[in-house]
Amino acid sequence: MIIIMGSEVTDAEIGTVVKKLENAGLQANISRGIERTVIGAIGDERKLTPEMFTPLPGVESAMHVTKQYKIVSRESHKQDTIIDIGGIPLGGNQIQIIAGPCSVETQEQMDLSAQFVHEAGCRLMRGGAFKPRTSPYAFQGHGAEGLDMFRKAAEKYKLPIVTELMDARQLDTFLEYDVDVIQIGTRNMQNFDLLKEVGRCNKPVILKRGMSATISEWLMAAEYIAAGGNHNIIFCERGIRTFETYYRNVLDVTAIPVLKKETHLPVIVDPSHAGGKAWMVAALSQAAVAAGADGLLVEMHPSPCDAWCDADQALTPQELKKLMGTLSAIAGAVGRTI
Amino acid sequence: MIIIMGSEVTDAEIGTVVKKLENAGLQANISRGIERTVIGAIGDERKLTPEMFTPLPGVESAMHVTKQYKIVSRESHKQDTIIDIGGIPLGGNQIQIIAGPCSVETQEQMDLSAQFVHEAGCRLMRGGAFKPRTSPYAFQGHGAEGLDMFRKAAEKYKLPIVTELMDARQLDTFLEYDVDVIQIGTRNMQNFDLLKEVGRCNKPVILKRGMSATISEWLMAAEYIAAGGNHNIIFCERGIRTFETYYRNVLDVTAIPVLKKETHLPVIVDPSHAGGKAWMVAALSQAAVAAGADGLLVEMHPSPCDAWCDADQALTPQELKKLMGTLSAIAGAVGRTI
Amino acid sequence: MIIIMGSEVTDAEIGTVVKKLENAGLQANISRGIERTVIGAIGDERKLTPEMFTPLPGVESAMHVTKQYKIVSRESHKQDTIIDIGGIPLGGNQIQIIAGPCSVETQEQMDLSAQFVHEAGCRLMRGGAFKPRTSPYAFQGHGAEGLDMFRKAAEKYKLPIVTELMDARQLDTFLEYDVDVIQIGTRNMQNFDLLKEVGRCNKPVILKRGMSATISEWLMAAEYIAAGGNHNIIFCERGIRTFETYYRNVLDVTAIPVLKKETHLPVIVDPSHAGGKAWMVAALSQAAVAAGADGLLVEMHPSPCDAWCDADQALTPQELKKLMGTLSAIAGAVGRTI
Amino acid sequence: MIIIMGSEVTDAEIGTVVKKLENAGLQANISRGIERTVIGAIGDERKLTPEMFTPLPGVESAMHVTKQYKIVSRESHKQDTIIDIGGIPLGGNQIQIIAGPCSVETQEQMDLSAQFVHEAGCRLMRGGAFKPRTSPYAFQGHGAEGLDMFRKAAEKYKLPIVTELMDARQLDTFLEYDVDVIQIGTRNMQNFDLLKEVGRCNKPVILKRGMSATISEWLMAAEYIAAGGNHNIIFCERGIRTFETYYRNVLDVTAIPVLKKETHLPVIVDPSHAGGKAWMVAALSQAAVAAGADGLLVEMHPSPCDAWCDADQALTPQELKKLMGTLSAIAGAVGRTI
């Protein structure tokens, strides 16, 4: 913690800060500059918050100098973590493309989807049974019944399944259907009770970035899961909210190298929700892999025009297959495989 | 719904759109312009989504022309709704200032807070027992025990209490302690399962705006609560996330007149979380009341420097009292009372 | 300047930083914490930039502790500056409402506008002769001829005139027509050559905030003008760009108390460009005055529906008059006059 | 133009809109829906603005259905435009990497830079002689003298030079030193007088995206240049401003496929200013090429730690060389060359 004192600080004001630091078990280093005096805290600053100091008289600002996340940080664990999903490694040299429809609609749609996912060469499948929808009047997903259809369809091709958990009370159902990867959606990135709950199970968790979450808040959200004992966390960049209205979100590719530097955990990208249009998906997928992503979460539907939700962002099976070819070449260019 | 066709549209492509509209029970009005053809849907467009049309060949874009929210809309209910909170009206001519500490710390702190809230002339009290914190290692609130302290403290001055609900599983505890107003925090604005749950009880709900929620998403979130049967909804603007780093959030005062136009429900403002610093609270509170807010949610602590969280944004009891005087004059200037 | 060294810093790396500081004529204070080492620079840090240190091995981050603006800072000049505009004081106890049309259209429109501005009780008039338009095919303003019409119309009521300068090459024309206040528009806030040019004349300058400029960049832009010798600078908040699409910009009222703290110069608000709709102007104007603004820049047109640009944001003469009444009451509530 | 009328519209209100359309030489198509009436304009809507209609009674909103840009649009010109820069093609199958230092410092630094640019296999060189700096007290560039050094250094390797123009009054100097590509910086994207000026010469122009410019505003800014007669325009994405504070800007890769769809002109990317840190440049460059960029603008300095500005974002000559290898492989993966 560094505490910056205003230009007309008094000795008494400095003394109050020092005493507060000492009461918390830390020591103070005082550096008197020409225009500002800076007080550095020596000791375990995780006990402190800037707000403990900023309301004190004479204090101009206060900030942490150490990262607030621990378990998920690269500092605490140098090697890349590889997460095992039913035998499929995520986070290593091989890049994983997780494909499938936005939502589980019918058994037939899921069977076809599983077949196309498999044929395209993907090793994991996605699909939503519980759907977060902006409107209460829109299709809310088939729920448990949807998980059942999904499980059956994926079984045939031995595809581990990825699906979204929206409420802690549904977790038992997820475990019952043996969901392989639990997805926490963008709107729940800071649903702390939900994070604590998935932190207590040992399933891999895909943690999507909140629509306007900073990298630091995202890492702290992961720390909530990790602090509960579950270290199988996969970050998923899915576009952030900005002023631009041409596309739904702005895919933040810079987050990829930054997360790879800050954390040892895998980083994947959802190009479908980022752009919001199928014709943007190839370019965004290619960019993500070129920038170092460990995987992608791509929407594919056997017949996009008939999809019950987000119809304009799903690839056709043919488009997915073609994309896999290009991605494979890009993976090779950056020393990886698909 | 309006569907705009690209510049080189064919009759077959127009025909597909028209057929899709007719299948959904609507009719089509076709307007052939020089550079674009526009198809208007006639009928109940709430069954439609733009995504049903945008993936079709020849379609350039599609958009709703009617609002997607119904129960909460001003169109469906012309008069201002006044919500009764234990006898205190919110949404009418009298502006309500809801004050209290960020979090429930001790019985003594709550007793003192209640006394100061009452003495300042406020009629409702706030305080957090369940706290959403960015870090899993930070104080997470006293939980049910905190509700108990809060209830006891507020009792003495007959102050209805406002406190945040973070998880549907806590709702029974809230009802047990007879919480007067349930607050849904910014991170849970689109926690749809939680919204549905509070939609089933009949307690007034303060719905804080998501950090980067649009006005339209916010109204739709309220519609989730309303669709469940609970129409006692109070919107609370608390600052939005932008590029500016000097202050925590940017208080969006424009949201006040806009919501008053779009909805019949009351609109209050949280100036404390918006700015994030106590010295900004007076100016922001004054701006909110001058712009037409029906109330404020203000943090006050008997001794801000000792507060367990957000210490730098709480007013002192004296500052609150002084602010009440200024607000009263401004309320008068816009034809209202405090 | 504070330089934060990474967790595994070596003595040699610390030595390099210290030497670079000493070469620049400053001294170093080294504070070795448990997880980080912090180096504080003692001396005139305005010679330094963080980028001088961040590329050095072992450095994690570097930041200024003193403000980079000097002349415009409240630290360098405690009292509020009152700017004299042809005898009208701006920045003192009296709040100034500057009203007029978006653009100069005809002599008759300007004559009528001047009359209505005067009749509403405003003491300064605005109007654009050189217009920044998003499209090259839109009306670009009457130029010098427009200044002539404006000057003639304002003359009759002795209203000082405010108008926008878009290009340094037009400055002579502005001086020729004796424009009273030069406005620098939002798109030119960081047109540094233009700022230097107006810094060399002694006319009052209204410096509008860039669409996505931080408070700090805005103060630095003003410092460009001040560094040239012209200290007659008026800050004008006009709404910032965010994700919200319901209104054109988000009026940032928090900027008002923040600027009043950081600078001694006057702060005004443009509620018309902020919201972009006439029906929002009253609420935003009231909020601005209640939050401490020293003035407003309001669009009024004799007949808004016929305005050549921004027709939907101009008040009618009657609306302006009514607004002046409310603003006067709010000014009274915060101890000021209009 | 589509005009949406409110739910309680009267025939008289519809009549007024229709009349206004007819007066402008267009026809009206009226579509009466259940909740809204929609009026479509038939004819050349470029004469119209939404603001002509939104202030009229009964009108809820109005919007263009055709694009406001013409010359730069893909609709008006189907094939990709390839711009010839002293014999080097930009916009075709071959991707161009434009490298060089942030600013011209000394003749020796420029000579070395040119050599390293050439040795890395790049065919164009960048460098700033006129520098836009946030602070008036920072190094503002060597000006004309800098152009002279730049020209001399680039001559030896026949590298066409790219440099920023900040003020229309400097254009003659640029032509005198025969600058090959004029760069318009992010802060000047809507400096309309400057755009008009470069529109009158026939030099290729790199138009950087404004910090918070929408795609549509950016295309309109290019239209300003094109409308003057200069069609040699290159779009340069350089990161946009968001809420994220970890990096300077967010590189918007989605802009690449979107621009390729909307315009026939080349699109390049500046990965150095986007991230703001040298260690991010490789990942961002790779992402840009994989997403379809026609070129890059990369900062390289013979000795980054000694650079006079933006020292932390320049690559070393060795890093640039290595990057060129990876980019070449990615280019191959997407069917292009470097």
| B contacts of D75 (beta carbons < 8 Å) | 7
For C21-45, what is the mean pLDDT? 88
Tell the burial category of C118 from Cβ atoms under 10 Å away from its Cβ (0-12, 13-18, 19+): middle
pLDDT band at C36 (very low <50, low <70, confident <90, very high): confident
Beta-bridged to residue B37, according to DSSP, are: B5, B32
pLDDT tens digits for range D210-228: 999 999 999 999 999 999 9
Beta-bridged to residue D27, according to DSSP, are: D42
d(CA D182, CA D206): 6
Please report all neighbours of C, defined by 3+ CB atom pairs within 8 A. A, B, D
pLDDT tens digits for range C77-125: 999 999 999 999 999 999 999 999 999 999 999 999 999 999 999 999 9
The chain-wide mean pLDDT, for chain D, equals 95
d(CA D333, CA D316): 26
| C contacts of D134 (beta carbons < 8 Å) | 68, 190, 217, 220
pLDDT band at A66 (very low <50, low <70, confident <90, very high): confident
Mutation site for D-interface testing, chosen from A68, A244, A313, A327 by largest number of D Cβ within 10 Å: A244
Residue percentage of chain A with pLDDT more than 90: 85
User: Are B242 and D245 a contacting pair at CB < 8 A?
Assistant: no
Res C48: pLDDT: 87
| A contacts of D212 (beta carbons < 8 Å) | 243
For C207-227, what is the mean pLDDT? 97
Closest CA to C62 of C28, C34, C93: C28
A338 at the D interface (CB within 8 A)? no
pLDDT tens digits for range B103-140: 999 999 999 999 999 999 999 999 999 999 989 988 89
CA distance C198 to chain A (A): 30
D133 at the C interface (CB within 8 A)? yes
- Phi–psi pair at A290, nearest 5 degrees: -65, -30
Q: Which helix (H) or strand (E) holds A120?
A: helix A107-120
User: Are B136 and A223 a contacting pair at CB < 8 A?
Assistant: yes
Which residue intervals of chain B bear CATH 3.20.20.70?
74-333
Res C46: pLDDT: 80
d(CA B233, CA B220): 12
Please report all neighbours of D, defined by 3+ CB atom pairs within 8 A. A, B, C
- Residue B161: CB atoms within 10 A of its CB come to 25
pLDDT band at D308 (very low <50, low <70, confident <90, very high): confident
| C contacts of D307 (beta carbons < 8 Å) | 51
Q: Where are the alpha helices (DSSP H) in chain B?
A: 11-23, 107-119, 144-155, 171-176, 192-199, 215-227, 255-262, 271-275, 278-290, 317-333
User: Are D65 and B4 a contacting pair at CB < 8 A?
Assistant: yes
Res A308: pLDDT: 83
Mutation site for A-interface testing, chosen from D286, D289, D324, D328 by largest number of A Cβ within 10 Å: D286
Which residue intervals of chain C bear CATH 3.30.70.1140?
2-63
C280 at the D interface (CB within 8 A)? no
User: Are B290 and C330 a contacting pair at CB < 8 A?
Assistant: yes
pLDDT band at D65 (very low <50, low <70, confident <90, very high): confident
Pairing of the two strands B267-269 and C27-32: unpaired
Which residue of chain A is at minimal alpha-carbon distance from D271? A254
User: Are A49 and B304 a contacting pair at CB < 8 A?
Assistant: no
Res A49: pLDDT: 87
Residue percentage of chain D with pLDDT more than 90: 85
Res A323: pLDDT: 98
d(CA D257, CA A281): 10
Question: Looking at domain C74-333, does it have CATH number 3.40.50.300?
Answer: no
User: Are B244 and C256 a contacting pair at CB < 8 A?
Assistant: no
The helix, strand and coil proportions of chain A, stated in percent and rounded to the nearest 5, come to 40, 20, 40
User: Are B212 and C252 a contacting pair at CB < 8 A?
Assistant: no
CA distance D45 to chain C (A): 12
d(CA A76, CA D240): 32
C74 at the B interface (CB within 8 A)? no
Res D300: pLDDT: 97
Res A27: pLDDT: 92
From chain C residues 301-330, the ones with a CB under 8 A of any chain B CB are 326, 329-330
C37 at the D interface (CB within 8 A)? no
By residue count, chain C amounts to 338
CA distance D131 to chain C (A): 9
D237 at the B interface (CB within 8 A)? no
| D contacts of A282 (beta carbons < 8 Å) | 257
CA distance B163 to chain A (A): 17
CATH architecture, range B2-63: 2-Layer Sandwich (3.30)
Ranges of chain B whose pLDDT falls below 50? none
d(CA C84, CA A49): 46
Residue with tokens 């909460």: B72
Q: Higher confidence at residue D154 or residue A47?
A: D154
Q: How far apart are the first and last CA of chain D?
A: 44
Res C34: pLDDT: 79
* Sequence-separated (6 or more) residues with CB below 8 Å from residue D183: D126, D162, D163, D164, D165, D205, D206, D208, D236
Angle in degrees, CA C280, C284, C285, rounded to 5: 115
